Amino acid sequence: MIVTPIQLSRRAELYHQLSQFTSTGIGLIRALEQIKANPPSRSFREPVGRMLEELNKGATVAEALRRVDWLPAFDIALVDAGERTGRLDATFRVLADYYNDRARLAKQVLADLAYPLFLAHFAALVFLIIIPFAAARFNTSLLWIFVRAFLVLLPFYIATALIIYASQSKHGEKWRAFMEKILHWVPRLGAARRSLALGRLALALEALTNAGVNIVDAWELAATASGSPALREAVAKWRPEIEAGRTPAEMVRASGVFPEMFNNFYHSGEVSGKLDESLRQLYAFHQDDGTRRLHGFVTWTPRLVYLGMVVIIGYEIIKFYAGYFNQVSNIMNGF
């Protein structure tokens, strides 16, 4: 259900091994056989075995990956382009770096959230279990106090599980488009996701055009690889217009879904004949911009959670002492 840093690191290690094998002249089938014997994760053994079956039947690497349905569309698009250009080793190296970056970011998120989450559960232990049990003077069942504390925390667990489930990429296109629109309004996160999607699109498009893929097909494949339903929906409408004589640069500008910088760089690259250079620059810019924004979101979210926990704990402490002083006041007034 959850993509962990370990899973991302193992995916990066898989691509790292493939890059090493192919860069030394070892064929892909032999490389996959070596990886199947000693995979980065035992869960890789079965899909790698199915890939080998497809390759031995005569399928290309991209066809085998699509039939096995194991890797994301972004990975498949880059591998397809790398296979067509004979640069599989470089493609695997790019993917290894990509997943290493994602693993580092995921580790930072978990590390930064660890203390606020510990603080939240410690506060729940004190204010929902220890203090109520002591205040009840042992007249209330300890089991009931634990159950009541669990029921208080249960909505937060359910909300977290629903957010994780809703954010997964295995849902249908309509659901993913809906989630993209919702997350677009989340400060920093929405802009980060958009920049990273544009970076993936630029990287895949550069690889596909260099591989000699027809420009319309390259755009459609790159839009799918971007992981953004909005970009994919926009590009899917281009084919009739381009076949009628309009250029991709005109479609990029007319679509309204690409930022001004992307429009300008793509247009200049198309006019000057240096489209691959422009796309590499766009990838570098959007990847850096998206990573920077995502780091900002990752840095500030735990701080806001921590601040929220401090406010809640402060409120509970004030409420506890207010109740205590009220009891003391009532006792004094009784005398």
DSSP string for residues in 49-112:
HHHHHHHHTT--HHHHHHHHT-S-HHHHHHHHHHHHHT-HHHHHHHHHHHHHHHHHHHHHHHHH
Question: How many helices and strands, by DSSP H and E, does the chain display?
Answer: 16, 0
Q: Is residue 311 part of a domain?
A: yes
* 134-148, 171-185, 303-317: the lowest-pLDDT one: 134-148
pLDDT band, very low/low/confident/very high, at 1 (cuts 50, 70, 90): very low
Task: Place 159 in a pLDDT band, splitting at 50, 70 and 90.
Answer: confident
Mean pLDDT of the chain: 82
Same domain, 203 and 129: no
| Better pLDDT: 272 or 211 | 272
Kindly indicate the confidence band of residue 46, based on its pLDDT and cuts at 50, 70 and 90. Answer: very high
Q: Does residue 157 lie within any of the structural domains?
A: yes
Residues 201 and 167 in one domain: no
How far, CA to CA in Å, does 277 sit from each of 106, 202, 229? 31, 11, 26
Query: Within a domain: residue 285?
Result: no
Q: Are residues 171 and 299 in the same domain?
A: yes
- Boundary of a domain, candidates 98, 115, 150: 98
Q: Are residues 206 and 177 in the same domain?
A: no
What predicted TM-score, i.e. pTM, was given to this entire model? 0.71
Structural domain range at position 80: 5-98
In this structure, are 123 and 85 located in the same domain? no
* Same domain, yes or no: 210 and 239: yes
Pair (324, 179) in one structural domain: yes
Same domain for 87 and 10, yes or no, is yes
Based on the domain organization, do 207 and 270 belong to the same domain? yes
pLDDT, residue 160, reads: 75
